[in-house]
Amino acid sequence: MRRALFLVLACLVPLSAFCQQKTEKAIFAAGCFWCTEAAFQDIPGVVSAVSGYTGGSVKNPSYEQVSSGRTGHTEAVEVTFDPAKVSYEKLLDVFWVNHDPTAANRQFCDSGTQYRPGIFYLNDQQKREAEASKQKFEKAKTFKQPLLTEITAAGPFYPAEDYHQDYYKTHALQYTFYVTGCGRYARLDDLWGPLRAKYNPKH
């Protein structure tokens, strides 16, 4: 009886492990993290999108510290995704058409190194895919300016304060005023043209 029970349990354990969702992470900076989070959050296969800070030298920085531009961080979003449902390549496509790669230390109405855009790769495979993606959009773009977006190895990612998370949902009216006043989506539509509709159908 005990042996039979042991065999049943032995069969169930691998099955349980097999059924567990395998996820991966990606880190993108595209200016204001409220907007970057909004771009990724509802993509099928994305488990979560967390606003935060990366690329700096201070541990656990606050929003006020990062906003000063003295910590070296940029506002970013850590995307957790199921690679069986959405590929890293697809996330890169969404990233490109959701920021202005012609600007190095500003995005729309926000200026400073804390708004610099970037892809922060977590392994060699992501690095290769990021570089290939940049080449793809360098060829596909219709504007003359080069793509200035950095591709660099990821350092520590620090989640931002709770009130920044899901801001586009919890403060929908303020968010709408912000993106409209900054001209973010109008600029992206003008910059990327049909590529934005192709790779970012939600906006």
Q: Which of 94, 117, 93, 97 is nearest to 107 (CA)?
A: 117
3-state secondary structure of 157: strand
Q: Which candidate in 11, 32, 35, 182 is catalytic?
A: 32
pLDDT tens digits along 113-127: 999 999 999 999 999
DSSP for residue 11: H
Find tokens 């906006």 and name the residue. Answer: 203
Catalytic-residue membership of 32: yes
List the domains of the chain with CATH numbers.
22-199 (3.30.1060.10)
pTM across the whole model: 0.89
pLDDT tens digits along 126-163: 999 999 999 999 999 999 999 999 999 999 999 999 99
Compute the C-alpha angle 137/32/126, nearest 5°: 45
User: Are 138 and 94 spatial neighbours (Cβ–Cβ below 8 Å)?
Assistant: no
